[in-house]
Amino acid sequence: MNRFWKYGFPPIYGLLIYFTVRLVLDTVTGMRFWHRDWGLNCLEMATCILASYALLYAFRRLFRYFDRRWQHDFSYGRIARELWYVFLVNQLLVNAIVTPVVASTDDGLQWYDLVDINTIPLMFALIYYGVVRSSHFLKAYVDSRLQLEKIANDTLQAELKFLKAQYHPHFLFNALNTIYFQMDEDVAGAKKSVEKFSELLRYQLYDQQQTVPVSQEIRYLESFIQLQQMRSSEKLRLNVQFDGTLNEQQVYPLLFLPLVENAFKYVGGDYWIRIEALAEGPELRFTVDNALPADPPPQRPGGIGLDNLKRRLALLYPGKHLFHTERQGGRFVARLTLNLQN
């Protein structure tokens, strides 16, 4: 295809210019070019073809220059500059190659010859410019948009990795703190906690996909809850309800864990926690409700963990989630709704 545009198209371009000029001149003068000497016609055709090779070569070089110099500029100013140079190149080459031949044939160079020679090739040059450059600009625009989307996606992935890396030390500290306090009182329980902790860590490090079945996430939460129960007081009343229809629905991992961890961290007062996950059509509703101490700490429950979660939700479920937390008297409630419909 490139060989055609380089070697095959210029003769077609030159002949189009020639026949258009001849038809216009014949309309003005009453001549019929097919009645002229065909040796003369062939000379003029060859001249137009030669001029077209020179013009199209010059245009390609000109376009490559602009593409290198103003690679990311698609403004009207650039187009105006390109059109100005196309006009100059066209007029210079046409008058340098075609005009002398016309001046030496028939009755010499008349004013209408000069008008046709300077306007008709220019018209074809502008058409050529419009077709070639519109295609190029469209491709460049699409490539630019794809590049911007790739950069945005890379930025998104980098931020998600940062948020995940920010959360891991927080999880490790809480889990190790649990095991530390068990070791003095219940060595066997500490060993079980280490086993549970290794399962949880393995899931975080190795078993994560882009999305996971919600049943897998629920099993992870159950292991985490069991680990927390090992260090919790026996007076803790725990109510956990996971909808049996939550199976293969796909979710991004580790979105529910901060809410459960937050409840175990700040539970007090009447010492109860309720955890519930329900499937309602295309939506998954996850609720964590826990009692608060009579004299709650000055900082709000959740802190960095919930801020981290909010940012991850904004990146992973833009416009497809609802997240709300509130303190209601002696309890703290966190509600997360995800729309899992593609």
CB under 8 A, 24+ apart: contacts of 273-276: 273/236, 273/237, 273/238, 273/239, 274/239, 274/240, 274/241, 275/221, 275/225, 275/238, 275/239, 275/240, 275/241, 276/240, 276/241, 276/242
Mean pLDDT of 231-258: 86
How deeply is 135 buried, as exposed, middle or buried, from its count of CB atoms within 10 A (0-12, 13-18, 19+)? exposed
pTM: 0.51
**What CATH number labels 186-339?**
3.30.565.10
For residue 264, which amino acid is it?
F
Give the DSSP letter of residue 177: H
* Assigned token pair, 60: 């390609």
Q: What percent of the chain has pLDDT over 70?
A: 75
Enumerate the domain spans of the chain: 2-149, 186-339
Mean pLDDT of 120-139: 85
Confidence check: pLDDT of 255 > 90: no
pLDDT per position as a tens digit, 138-179: 777 676 666 666 656 655 555 555 545 555 555 666 667 666
Confidence check: pLDDT of 64 > 60: yes
Nearest partner of 56 among 84, 16, 89, judged by Cα = 89
Reduced 3-state DSSP string for 5-45 = HHHHHHHHHHHHHHHHHHHHHHHHHCCCHHHCCHHHHHHHH
pLDDT of residue 168: 54
Q: Do 120 and 21 meet the contact criterion of CB atoms below 8 Å apart?
A: yes
Rounded to whole angstroms, how far apart are CA atoms 235 and 229? 11
The percent of the chain in helix, strand and coil, each rounded to the nearest 5, is 65, 15, 20
**Exposure b/e, 109-122, CB count within 10 A at least 16 = b:** beeebeebbeebbe
Rounded to whole angstroms, how far apart are CA atoms 22 and 19? 5
Query: Picking from 98-107, 274-283, 311-320, which range would have the lowest pLDDT averaged per residue?
Result: 98-107
